[in-house]
Amino acid sequence: MDSRSTSQYHRATRSSLACLPCRSRHLKCDGKRPCCDRCSETGKQCSYAQSRRGGLDRAALAERRNRLAAAAVNSNPDNVTSWQGAATLRQPQEGTAVYLQVNSRFESCMRDLNSGPGHTNTVPPSNIGNDPLIDSYYKNFHICHPLVIPRNHLTKLYQDPSRQEGFAPLIAVIRFIGNIYKAREWSIPLKTYLEASFSQASALDPIMVQCRLLYSIALFWYEYKTDAKLQMDLATKRAIDLQMFRQEFAAANAAEDLVLRESWRRTWWMLYIVDAYYAGTLGTLDLRIVDIEATAELPCDESDYESGNIPTPRSLQEFNCREFGPKNIRFSSFAYLIGAVQCAAFALTTTSKIPAEECSTHITQAADCSLDGWRLLLPPDHKQVMDVTGKVDELMFQAHLLIHVSTIGLHRPLSNFRFNTAETESSCAREPPLDIPSPDLVNVHTIRVLRAIEAQIRLLALPIQQFHHTPFTTCMVSKGTLALLSACNAFLKGRDLAIARDQIRMTLGCLKALGEVWPRIARNVQEIQKIAQRVLALGYVANSHSTPGSSDIPVSGAEGPSLASNASDILTNDIDMIASLGAINDLCGWYNVGGPGNLP
């Protein structure tokens, strides 16, 4: 056989160790190293997935298995976490009796947990379509952060036995979060199973970006701030290493599955959004991926995603030039949320670089144009977040809140709404901005804040049966609470004060509903109650039986001091509007991220 025939033979033979370019395109690969024949002929860069076994040969793997198994046998069998190392090992070769013994004891330990009082079934059922924990995830959490593939499509893919191992970590984190909503608890068995699934997954598998992003959110709102940051850092690094921000990524990693392609696009953009949420919640300017020139296409409408009828995706460039495009081009709610994050990031990063004495004019001329442009270009069906059936568009709800909180954060330091030292009582609060002279446009800044609060209250007062949104809502609505408390303390009197106080109660009640699921929110509600008592000089301290959001805080009989004369003129004209404003709580970093003279 000549060399040409040999080459053809190799190209026709598919290796089980195909290179990544051939595997992503579902092409036959001869597995030659360092470069297969197909990549050599086409001029592509040939690379292979890193071994999940860490590059060890067969003898070294056997020795490693026996060493870990022996250590596990000698550990305490009553401690679930001591079995995690054994559980994460791959299936052993024939004859490794010690490993089989350890693995059997681990599974027995997990069965004991599953059958004990208040047990949680850690292992997903074979038919995940009937799993109540997965149902809980999609009902409660997926609607807030819709990045993983829709439930029906996931169930269909999971029926393929060859895919189940790859989906194992995703199913584990979905069930873990679903249990938080269903059982209102942090399940140690499910957490152990989740982390074991994570450790078995390939570091190059893009599904781990989804898994770590979701796990980070759960950790953060359950008060595991350090672990949440670690998971977010790992998700961000892996997404950048895999270049998920590139248009080509989705097609290269989903073959002809259009729903999976859409999921990869959504993964990058949700990472982009949550990165901004963390920056706002923690009061930093650490927007790590906002400056990456992403070419990943924009997500489609939720109804198209759920049905599997994925339309031709739109680009970010098309969205950013929508004012010049034809009116019939439609962008999804997800796209408008991405646009809102762009506006917020631009406003904060731009104004933070401007000297305080120039900031007032600069905000009016530049930053406001970005925020107002987003709002003014909304099509009619996106201006209202609730449809005629009473269903709330969660992504547009978040987008509107983000625009309003950015407006308040920019203008309050330059307005007549002064910061009270009591605001530092909140674990989410930052140092208030330094005192600066009242700018010439102080009235403009004050009215901007008032109107943003009014708009937020309209969102919070939507006629829904239960206040149910992403936990990041907690910090986005904090700006209105601070500003309204300042108004109550400074100039609201009589009936106007009573109305404002009712709105504060309403907001505390909204956040109390979220606090029943997420402990960090429950703590923030309690902190805001204490802050309100001090700001309003109530002379009342809630007893130990008070619950967050309770309405037993009495109305103060004392009227607060009047505002400075330069503010009273505009406030007199706007008193009717102010009376309709509402309270928003949880004093988080959004309130002064971009404040002049207050950079972290």
Per-residue pLDDT of 110-164, as tens digits, reads 444 454 444 557 888 778 888 999 999 999 999 999 999 999 999 999 988 888 8
Q: How many CB atoms lie within 10 A of CB 274?
A: 24
The mean pLDDT value for 431-450 works out to 70
Tell me whether the omega of the peptide bond preceding residue 34 falls within 30 degrees of 0, making it cis: yes
Cβ atoms of 333 and 399 closer than 8 Å:
yes
- Dihedral-angle region of residue 50 (phi above 0 means left; psi in -120 to 50 means alpha; beta otherwise): beta
Short-list 377, 371, 372, CA closest to 344: 371
Q: How confident is the model at residue 209 (pLDDT cuts 50, 70, 90)?
A: very high
**Sign of the Cα pseudo-torsion (301, 322, 349, 483, in order):** negative
Percent of the chain exceeding pLDDT 90 equals 35
Q: Is the pLDDT assigned to residue 526 strictly greater than 90?
A: no
Residue 278 has what pLDDT? 93
pLDDT, mean of residues 92-117: 42
CA distance 227 to 558: 46
SS3 percent helix, strand, coil of the chain, rounded to 5, is 60, 0, 40
Residue with tokens 């495009």: 325
Both structure tokens of 12:
């026709």
- Span 455-460, average pLDDT: 88
Fill in the amino acid letter for 257. Answer: D
Cβ atoms 269, 298 nearer than 8 A: yes
As beta bridge partners, residue 413 has none
User: How far lies 43's CA from each of 154, 447, 486, in Å?
Assistant: 36, 61, 66
The one-letter code for the residue type at 71 is A
- Answer whether 286's CB lies under 8 Å from 279's CB: yes
Residue predicted with more confidence, 44 or 374: 374
Angle, CA of 307, 401 and 320, to the nearest 5°: 65
Distance, first Cα to last Cα, the chain = 71
Q: Which residues pair with 392 in a beta bridge?
A: 386
Which pTM value belongs to this model?
A: 0.72
